[in-house]
Amino acid sequence: DHFFDDNGFDYCINCAAFTAVDKSEEQEETASNVNTIGVINIAKACKRHSIVLIHISTDFVFDGKINRSYSENDIPQPLNVYGRTKLKGEQAIEEILADEGEDISVLGDETKFIARINPNSTVKEGEEIKLSIDSSKLHFFDPSTGNAL
């Protein structure tokens, strides 16, 4: 909370996750602490401070048994600890932030992430985006996307 108090953010982009899928099976508590409990804490802090939360999901919340891209209307069916802990975090976000306004989902090819959150971006497909991160700010070297966020 102090971090949010001291910095006056409008947005929080949660990219944190315990992403070692195989290790999640052996380290279920760690995966749960990061992917579920950590996300709950972030969502609650965002709610208290009226900050928009952008949470990065994973296709591991699905079982991979369909032959098309998934949509937000598909029923999640994770097959492993990693997918289950990520799904629990996402469900907690929905519950905690249910009354906070519009829900935005970003699904599909992760290489198209920038285009999906900002269709007016000047970044071309396949172009590398350089980021600079310090303790309080995320800087995009694509001004159109940085401004959109």
DSSP alpha helix (H) spans, the chain:
2-7, 21-26, 28-32, 38-48, 81-96, 113-117, 143-148
Pairing of strands 52-55, 11-14: parallel
Q: What angle do CA 5, 8, 14 make, to 5 degrees?
A: 90
> Token digits for 148?
């959109």
Q: Which of 45, 82, 83, 121 is catalytic?
A: 82
Active-site residue 82, yes or no? yes
d(CA 97, CA 26): 31
Catalytic residues: 82
